[in-house]
Chain A
Amino acid sequence: MKPGDTVFSREVVPWLAVFFWIAVVLFVLVELVSSDFGAAVRGFMQGAFGGRRFAYLMTTLSRTALITGMALSVLLSFRAGLFNIGGEGQLVAGGLAAALVAVLVPGPPLLILALAILAAMLAGAVWALLSGFLQLYVGVPILVGSLLLNYPIRYIASYLVAHPYRDVASGMVQSHLVPQATWLPYFPGTRLDIGILFIVVAAIFTIAYSHTTVHGYQARLNGLAPDFARTVGLPVGKLAMQTLAMSGAIAGLVGAIAVFGIHHRYIDGMLVQPLYAWTGIIAVLLVGMIPWLVPFSGFFFAAIQTGAAGMERTAGVPKEIALVAQAVIILLVASRVSGALLSSSDRKAGGGDA
Chain B
Amino acid sequence: MHASLKDIRVSFGSLVAVDNVSLEIAAGGIHAVVGENGAGKSTLMNVLFGLVRPQAGGIEIDGRPCSWASPQDAIASGLGMVHQHFMLQDDMTVLENIVLCAEPVSRFGFVDFAGARRKLAAGFAEHGIAIDLDAVVGELAVGQRQVVEILKMLYRDARLLILDEPTAVLTPQEKDRLFAILRSFAAGGKSVVIITHKLDEVMEIADHVSVMRGGRLISSGPLGDTSKEQIAREIIGGDLPPARKPQPREPGRRVLAVSGLATTSRSGPVGPVSFEVRAGEVVGIAGVSGNGQAELIQALTGLRKATAGAVALEDRDILALDVAGRRHAGISYIPEDRQRMGLALGATVSENANAGREDRAGFAAGPFLRRRAMADFARGLIERYRIRAGGPAARASTLSGGNKQKLVVGRELARKAPLIIAENPTWGVDIGAIDFIHGELMRMRDEGHAVLLVSTELDEVMALSDRILVMFEGRIAGEVAGPDATRKELGRLMTSRTGGTAEAA
Contacts and interface: CB of A to CB of B under 8 A. Distances in A.
A115 B46 CA distance: 60
A217 B364 CA distance: 11
A214 B10 contact: no
Interface string A158-199: 000000000000000000000000000000000000000000
A256 interface: no
A224 B347 contact: yes
B400 A231 contact: no
A51 interface: no
B323 A221 contact: no
Q: Is the interface of A mostly helix, strand, loop or mixed?
A: helix
A351 B46 contact: yes
Interface string B355-397: 1100010011001110100000000000000000000000101
B323 A230 contact: yes
A295 B12 CA distance: 31
Contacts of A214: 360, 363-364, 367-369
B343 interface: yes
Contacts of B351: 217, 221
B397 A221 contact: no
A351 B335 CA distance: 22
B358 to A, nearest CB: 8
B333 interface: yes
A354 B46 CA distance: 9
B474 interface: no
A215 interface: yes
B38 interface: yes
Contacts of B328: 233
Contact of A354 (B335, B340, B355, B400): B400
Contacts of A352: 42, 397
A233 to B, nearest CB: 3
Interface residues of B, number: 53
A217 B400 CA distance: 24
Nearest to A214: B364
A349 interface: yes
A91 to B, nearest CB: 27
Contacts of A213: 367-369
Interface string B294-310: 00000001110000000
A348 interface: yes
B371 to A, nearest CB: 8
B369 A212 contact: yes
Per DSSP, are chain B's interface residues mostly helix, strand or loop, or mixed? mixed
Nearest to A208: B368
Nearest to B394: A348
Contact of A351 (B10, B302, B333, B364): B10
A233 B46 contact: no
Interface string A213-246: 1110110110011011111111100000000000
Contacts of B344: 221, 224-225, 228-229
A10 interface: no
A347 interface: yes
A125 B40 CA distance: 50
A350 B43 CA distance: 9
Given A233-B324, A235-B324, A351 B43 contact: yes
B85 to A, nearest CB: 9
Contacts of B218: none
B342 interface: yes
A320 interface: no
Given A217-B351, A233-B322, A347-B13, A227 B340 contact: yes
A5 interface: no
Nearest to B11: A350
Interface residues of A, number: 27
Nearest to B302: A233
A352 B84 CA distance: 11
A227 B355 contact: no
A353 B398 contact: no
A11 to B, nearest CB: 17
B240 interface: no
Contact of B12 (A224, A230, A351): A351
A225 B343 contact: yes
Nearest to A350: B12
A228 B355 contact: yes
B394 to A, nearest CB: 8
Contacts of B404: 353
B140 interface: no
Contacts of A232: 323, 327, 355-356
A228 B341 CA distance: 4
A212 B12 contact: no
B276 to A, nearest CB: 23
Contacts of B303: 230-231
Given A221-B355, A225-B346, A228-B340, A353 B400 contact: yes
A232 B12 CA distance: 29
Contacts of B23: none
A195 to B, nearest CB: 27
Given A217-B369, A233-B327, A352-B397, A347 B12 contact: yes
B409 to A, nearest CB: 14
B401 interface: yes
A238 B446 CA distance: 38
A302 B43 CA distance: 44
A352 B42 CA distance: 9
Given A221-B344, A231-B333, A353-B400, A215 B367 contact: yes
A227 B341 contact: yes
A231 B398 contact: no
B428 interface: yes
Nearest to A351: B43
Given A224-B345, A225-B345, A228-B340, A349 B369 contact: no
Given A212-B368, A351-B43, 20 more contacts: A212-B369, A212-B371, A214-B364, A214-B368, A221-B351, A224-B345, A225-B346, A225-B347, A228-B341, A229-B355, A232-B327, A232-B355, A233-B324, A234-B355, A349-B398, A350-B13, A351-B51, A352-B397, A354-B43, A354-B400
11 contacts: A212-B369, A224-B345, A231-B356, A233-B327, A233-B328, A235-B324, A348-B397, A349-B398, A350-B13, A351-B46, A354-B42
Interface of B: 10, 12-13, 15, 17, 37-38, 40, 42-43, 46, 51-52, 84, 164, 301-303, 322-328, 333, 335, 337, 340-347, 351, 355-356, 360, 363-364, 367-369, 371, 395, 397-398, 400-401, 404, 428
- Across chains A and B, which 8 residue pairs bring their CB atoms closest together, nearest first? A232-B356, A233-B324, A350-B12, A225-B344, A353-B401, A224-B346, A354-B43, A233-B323
